[in-house]
Amino acid sequence: MFFTRFPCLARWISCSYLCGTLEWERLLKRVFIANRGEIALRAVRVCRSLGLETVSAYSAADAASPHVWAADRAVCIGGAQALQSYLNNAALIAAALGTGCDALYPGYGFLSENSAFARQCRSAGLIFIGPAPEVIALMGDKVEARRTALKLGLPVVPGSQGAFREAAPALKAAREIGLPILLKAGAGGGGRGMRIATDEDSFADLFTQASAEARVAFDNPAIYLERFLPRVRHVEVQVFGDSHGNVVHLWERDCSVQRRHQKLVEEAPSPILSDERRREIVQAAEALAHGLGYQGAGTVEFIYDPETDRAFFIEMNTRIQVEHPVTEVVTGTDLVREQFRVAAGEPLSLRTPPLPRGAAIEFRINAEDVDHGFCPSPGMVSEWHPPQGKGIRFDSHVYPGWRVSPHYDSLLGKLVVHAPGRNEALHAARRALARFAASGISTTIPFHAALLAKAEFREARIHTRWVEDEMNS
């Protein structure tokens, strides 16, 4: 096991006013990073800037990962398989307690939206750096999330009142809602357990497929139904809440460039929303967070139909998002730092939404072979020279000689380009991608270059199925 130690630079402090005087109280000292890759490395860096000690979890496959040697300490928590390591609740909590940690940071993916894990952390005396387990459970149940949104006045897509475990009653409900129908896992998201039924003949088979996938991904086969709207944009709002009752939104991101419900490119602000519709969406997101008594980082997701100029709530992700850097660069806010502040009991550092500055676009650089259906491309990275320069940010954990594991998500890094306007950002992105040298594995860099050459993308005339329909992928 490899250990490195750094001196604690400062104390993590929280202030409260008692009898007119300022009383300092140290709430956090040491954080267990229960994740891997770029988000784990980012968390270590933020903790160091706050004077917090860090302990990084790592699997047998990640012993050479930068988040291991960047932390004050590191603990191997199991084998390469995620179920043996990053999804092993007991091992993570035992390691956190065994190294004297006060809190656990889940990042995104893995157990970040697992309410049972958050509850186990709380029972063990660990601060789970995220919302309350009850809120995670409520928003993780897509049916209950929908009901909650309706109660709080948010517009929702026409859909079923509950989830189904059998195809026959689901088909009956689908007839009442109207086809085409989107079948969605009731207990999770991320595109898993999702199918589109365009006719009754294929409905039963698609329901069975979606249910089986949902069982594997979320240990829950229940499927709920929504009216499928074929040409919509995906717009999401970043929200933040604290333990003092403060809630603020940090504007929206447009995540409409997707393939099989997986996001590929995200940008802020949305290039298609009018000011009126933007206000409506961000205010709805804030209302939901207020109604939940939300604490920490969250994302309220909507679909927007340009033909009718209407937006509908679809779900809430109770964690930091992969695409959060685009919000950071346009608002000048460190969202990960804010997560730690809120977890320590601090009030939000901002009470009103910061005015957006310019436009930002994030390109997910994945280890995938675009020419062969985005097939994963594990192996050794022989060359790795990301672009640098004004307005360019690159979040990554990869270096020359890094071995891409077949056991985890294929994300290598996130290229973010920030400029005064969207056209300038598009131009800067073309130049940045042309300078990105990577070899030894296949990446999505050629896809992004091809995307930027498309007039439909440049002119914001796409929808969530456009990549599959128009780019033959």
Tell me 161's DSSP state.
S
Q: Report which secondary-structure segment, H or E, holds 350.
A: none
Alpha carbon 456 to chain centroid distance? 26
What is the dihedral sign for C-alpha 305, 311, 316, 320? Answer: positive
Q: Is 260 assigned a catalytic role?
A: no
Using alpha carbons, select from 465, 184, 463, 157 the residue that is nearest to residue 314: 157
Question: Residue 196 pairs with which residues in a beta bridge?
Answer: 182
Tell me 473's DSSP state.
-
The 3-state DSSP class for residue 379 equals strand
The burial class, CB within 10 Å (0-12 / 13-18 / 19+), for 383 is exposed
Using alpha carbons, list the distances in angstroms from residue 184 to 134, 136, 162, 335, 442.
Answer: 22, 18, 12, 29, 31
- How are beta strands 30-33 and 103-105 bridged, if at all? parallel
Q: Rounded to whole angstroms, how far apart are CA atoms 442 and 425? A: 25
Please tell me which residue in 259, 277, 319, 422 is annotated as part of the active site.
319
For residue 423, the tally of other CB atoms under 10 A from its CB is 12
Give catalytic residue positions. 319
